[in-house]
Structure 1
């Protein structure tokens, strides 16, 4: 086994993307840590790089499984992963916690231990903290909102070629998973991932970036994602999934993005027309009680790379949410800023949808810009160890969401959303809150 990661989890299934020496590849799994009574899946052929995605079905809901990679009939006992299946089928009441993270590799405190550009990677102990908390507290997902590294493929920087070939993107993923703390996390907790600019292409990258098609193609090879509505090949990677009665929307803000320098008119887009049509149809038909919107680019902000520079389309999306009856049932999480922050949506930013917005970074990055006061619950700038959690408590009638921002294992602030009432500040406080 060279690398292994788990994602695409439901109450009865999971997807595993593994890289092995020879192939074909299969998955051995068990409900026992010692792998007793294990079952082995069917085998899947590997590609030219030794990578395969294996889907396992017939799992039990709310159950912790342990898993290993099987290469050409031989189980690799050197590394064991874990996963927790969803507690119930989609659409049924469930309580759970997910973590939201982003940004690791810009002047990191703990650089990578290997790779083509180790100083653009991270092997920080925060990945151990996340894994240990996730396993101990039965978190359902690690949701990564981008800049998993800072290779800036296509820029020609950091000693890397400017060609942004598919081979470079594959090497980038090899380098990420060669960082043992990240590798342990992504094989131990079901993972949902969406890129931002630095892991998609150069800084502030968009649909004109030289590696755009290769990034989209290799994502499908190396990320164990949920089904991608745009299909195979060099298409955007937006998607959605459910846990209980909560819909998660994962927006791709890079693959079909207009250049930031374009005039802010109705033709300027961050999502692209196909993604917006898909989103409109999803919101019109989905019967979930609440929506957690995973949006890599900053919804609140004034920088040229934020939604503040795409205000026309942002207004369009706000109207789409309202027209489809989701007002009062949305919580949004962003990364990109290299900060944690919370806005309740009830203050001066109510015109941006009126829903809570949370920043969930950085894992291990230098500061990005200055602290600002747009977020009514505050902003916390720090180089390392910051992330957010979203906890859902479902009583069968309403879903109560609590978003908390963390520094290591210390809570800094929180906001809540109850789908049966209105957004509230500070209700359902964490057990320990860092004095501000």
Structure 2
């Protein structure tokens, strides 16, 4: 892969400069910005404003733009540069010996013997013929020179140096943040937020889970050591963040959030103590009271309507649960009509239902005659309680007997009713009850 130097007015590439090393742009936001400012390319500023350090991962700067102090080993450019190195347009350099896998050749200078010197001309060296025959001149192949360099991560010395540099950089950054103004702090936080959002958009699911796990561990450790004032400030910030996030969420996100909140609340309530339960109820009561003080008339009507629906639903569910857990006694059931009562209870003596049917027909006849009601609606009347059925039946029977005596002619017009027989059957059923 051909590497090209991004520095302005620099034509060095990995193809035409074998003795030059190329270094990739750093991932750090601030350090990458310093590199871009040094390069002087206007297009780089636009790319950095939108993408941060991500678009510069495959861009390089050659070693000609770094000074001797920027290299880990000032005598070997292939050993790498320091983590905080910044290129410059006119770097201060000494004569650097390029060494890779090649070995240094040390030439030892000694005065030549007398036989190599010509007495007439002392400015020239005369070599014997035997020595010249063994001297061969060969071209060094470029393939034998390994320009891959040395891995900077290998070696304990480099690791120690990198850690010390990171510690110094962190201390310098802490001092710088302590001296910054509110505007500078706001600007820095915005840059950090932009950088984090770009990095999170490009991370894989595994990286996202790893990052969330680390964030949760750090937050747990930080909450254990925080003071009550810090705890109150944190909760207030979380509340403001949650409100801002709820304003921008969709309907599906709101539904999922409510489901998750309900599940978390249920799990938390199962493990709470009696004191925690009382405190929770008290805080809920205070919160509800404060919310009701600030609600409008429309919100109040809507709340009351929802409460009525919830209460009706709750009562209906309780009724169903009671009916399922407590089977009905068909004799004491007050919700069944006479018709359903006769259809469901088949094992009871049918003569009892015949007498009840006669009694019902007589009652329907006189009720229709006096009030003018429809005869079909009376078939769905409910049976009174069995405990008071004797008194009710006796009262109705004597009233019916009195009316039947006074209006004997009108009762005889009905072909379905026989007063004497029906009255005797009703009296016999009252005695049985």
TM band (smaller chain): under 0.3
TM-score of the pair, normalised by structure 2: 0.20
The structure with higher relative contact order (CA 8 Å, sep 6+) is: 1
Greater helix proportion: 2
TM-score, structure 1 length as denominator?
0.20
